[in-house]
Amino acid sequence: MNKRIRLKDVAERAGVAVNTASTILNRRPNSWASKETEARVFKAARELDYRPSKTARALRSGRYHTIGLLIQDLTNPFFSTLADELEAAVEERGYDLLVENCRSSIVREKHLFGDLDDLEVDGSVLWLSDNEIFRNELAAMPKSRHPVVVLGNGIPETPIPVDAVLSDFTQGLNDAVEALCQLGHKRFAFVSALAEGQADGQRPRLFQEMLAARGIPAANIDILRTGHTVESSCETFAAFLRKRTEKRPTALLAMNDLAAIGAMRAAIEAGLQVPADLSVIGVDDVPLCSYLPISLTSIRQRYKRITKCAADLLISRIEGTVDAETPPRQEVFPTIYTPRESVGPAKA
């Protein structure tokens, strides 16, 4: 195993004291070293491929210059895209990103949440399965030295007790429902893709309420619950189609794009045509949607704006550019209905 290069090794190579090497490498303003000495120290660090210990640096400065991200499922392209965008946003501010993956497990999520204070990070961005489950724990966070920003879908009746960046599905979902009704659809399905123990959330209820406002009775709406993987969605919808041979839905909306893709595959394997027999809409609008053989209509979340806002809110807490007594801030971004090939008119 390669020996870890220490600050002492750099100092010896450059022929200076350890304190001098530390002052130069950390670019402290109290350095009295000459330009030649500084060049020699930086040259020695490059030659030895010296990388300072984050723990040691944090002991000196009080910061790790690292942000944590707790997300649900890295195999879902929504979360991997979110992580990539957040990483870019915090890098612009001089921070690294440490990703913790819950793997769609409530048990693992609670374990990782409980270990937040043990991470070598200055604060964390959290996408929890259900913010309400953790409301009491979140309410205690402002008293700790670990600032957090919560991400999520839907606007809670009671504000979240920490800084939050939320997606409002009202506009995007309303536009999707209006488009389907205008195209003559009268029978619908909603696929809830859930982790074990996770609640349905607001979207199925909003979907039903919006359809009811347009004269669609509850008997014409099938709510299907499935797992978080594309395979489980495909299996669930395939089983539904085998049982329902008449009065099938002509339009389907899924809780996320993976569930929509799984349902679309099940429909095609059952001999249906998309969108001639079944229109399909996903949620999140992951980049993959535009490049499927039948491009997927989706309700877009504003990745770049959400992650930039989350980075700004969190770093302002970390660096103290907002008063410590500033109450929790909440930023909301509307979603956007994005039509593509998977939606068409209902059959007469």
Q: What sign for the dihedral angle of Cα 107, 111, 116, 120? A: negative
The answer to whether domain 66-168+302-334 and domain 169-300 are alike in fold is yes
Tell me if the domain spanning 169-300 has CATH number 2.60.40.420: no
Structural domain spans, the chain: 7-52, 66-168+302-334, 169-300
If you average pLDDT over residues 155-175, what whole number do you get? Answer: 93
Q: pLDDT exceeding 70 applies to what percent of the chain?
A: 92
- pLDDT of residue 190 exceeding 90: yes
Least confident range of 45-59, 89-103, 159-173:
45-59
Q: Which CATH class is domain 66-168+302-334?
A: alpha beta
Architecture label for domain 7-52 = Orthogonal Bundle (1.10)
- pLDDT of residue 253 exceeding 60: yes
Q: List phi, psi (to 5°) of 294.
A: -115, 105
| CA distance from start to end of the chain | 71
Please report the DSSP string for 58-108 in residue order: HHHHS---EEEEEES-TTSHHHHHHHHHHHHHHHTTT-EEEEEE-TT-HHH
Which residue, 4, 3, 16, 19, is CA-closest to 43? 16
Give CA–CA dist 330/258, Å, rounded: 28
- 3-class DSSP assignment, residue 310: helix
pLDDT tier at 2, thresholds 50, 70, 90: low
- 3-class DSSP assignment, residue 141: helix
Top mean pLDDT of 55-64, 112-121, 164-173 is at 164-173
- pLDDT per position as a tens digit, 4-21: 788 788 889 889 888 888
If you average pLDDT over residues 244-251, what whole number do you get? Answer: 95
CA 101 from centroid of its chain's CA atoms: 11
Give CA–CA dist 70/261, Å, rounded: 25
If you average pLDDT over residues 130-144, what whole number do you get? Answer: 87
pTM (predicted TM-score): 0.82
